[in-house]
Amino acid sequence: ALAVYLLDDLPRLRQKVEARLITADESIQSFTHLINALLAVVFEAADTAVDPHITSALVALFNFMQAKDLAGQERAIGVVGFISGYFDANLREKMQFLLASQRRCVDVFIEFAELAFKNQWAAFEQQDLNNQIVQLRGVAERTTPTTPVSPQLAEIWFDLASERMDWMKIMEDEQTTRLRALCAEKIQMAQHDLDNHSTLLKRLALLDAPTPFPTARLFNVQAVALGSSPADSPGTQLSRSILDLLHAQTIRLQAMSIEIDGARRALTERKTIERAKGVLMRQYQLNEEAAYAQMQQNAMNQGAKLLDIAHAILKDAP
């Protein structure tokens, strides 16, 4: 509902931007709010999926999409800083936060993405484009009011960051296409399983049909006629088929449960960190970047994982 509302309001937001009725920071926040609402739809889909392969693909896609969104925010903040000639403490903090967040999203993406996409990303990271972006990030870190840089770097930064985002969009589309194909495969497999179940039920119904001599045959629990050899029994093959099917389903369900738990663990950790960050923002009137930086600093000071710090914050929250 929130995403639909924000999409309806998008034309008005664009008009404000074109008329320069809002600041660059307000514009970034508004567009980020909209994109986060749209990403939440993918997050909920991943959280409710019951197939492990679909869940993993959604988790990978969600984190990659968020990494691309964060890259867009970094592009915007970078333009603001380079146009000004230097990055003040606030802008540097935002750039550091956005870079750390991108890395975290990419790490989760790599954990759950298919091998082809992992290799594709690894190859992309070796391109000269990324080296140039890294160099400009370093320039941004070193700028001061007394040692400014040329505002012309803003255009160079924008072009490089846009090229990186364009490449990420292509990869995002490829993941989406693969996800659609995967869903189609799973639907076909489910239909095949359903057909197998229907066939077994029909065969079972035939065995249960009335015979001319209903008292002539006695069956045990495995549908084998007493006194007859297993090879002669009409129920033996059916019993074996049913037992094999149940056994295969049990193994598959166990494997699915393990895989889904792994994928959902990443989602749960993400929720926990976001909730803890929200607690710090409310308690200490911090912005998102400062709250995350505080959590990271606490993790380094205590030699703990960021997730452990998040759990501690939530435990002590009023």
Q: Which one, of 30, 75, 85, 288, lies nearest residue 21 by Cα?
A: 30
For residue 19, what pLDDT is reported? Answer: 84
For residue 307, what pLDDT is reported? Answer: 86
What are the tens digits of pLDDT across the range 83-116?
999 999 999 999 999 999 999 999 999 999 999 9
Distance in angstroms (rounded) separating the CA atoms of residues 112 and 263: 7
Average pLDDT over residues 212-228: 45
The CA R_g of the chain, rounded to the nearest whole Å, is 28
Distance in angstroms (rounded) separating the CA atoms of residues 93 and 101: 12
Q: How far is CA 214 from CA 8, 29, 208, 218, 225, in A?
A: 70, 78, 10, 9, 13
For residue 87, what pLDDT is reported? Answer: 96
Q: What is residue 147's three-state secondary structure? A: strand
What are the tens digits of pLDDT across the range 255-305?
666 666 766 777 788 888 888 888 888 888 888 878 888 888 888 888 888
Average pLDDT over residues 34-62: 75
For residue 109, what pLDDT is reported? Answer: 95
Burial string for 92-119 (b: 16+ CB within 10 Å, else e) reads bbbbbbbeebbebbbebbeebbeeebee
> In the predicted model, is pLDDT for residue 32 greater than 70?
yes
For residue 317, what pLDDT is reported? Answer: 81
Q: What is residue 173's three-state secondary structure? A: helix
Of 149-158, 175-184, 214-223, 236-245, the one with minimum mean pLDDT is 214-223
Pick the CATH number of 216-316 from 1.10.10.10, 2.115.10.20, 2.60.40.10, 1.20.120.1200: 1.10.10.10
Average pLDDT over residues 43-51: 63
What are the tens digits of pLDDT across the range 152-204?
999 999 999 999 999 999 999 999 999 999 988 888 877 766 666 566 566 55
Apex 290 CA angle, 288 and 294, nearest 5: 120
Average pLDDT over residues 231-250: 54
How buried is residue 65: exposed, middle or buried, by Cβ count under 10 Å (0-12/13-18/19+)?
buried
Q: Half-sphere exposure of 243 toward its Cβ, with a 13 Å CA cutoff?
A: 9
pTM attached to this predicted model: 0.66
For residue 175, what pLDDT is reported? Answer: 96
Per-chain mean pLDDT for the chain: 80
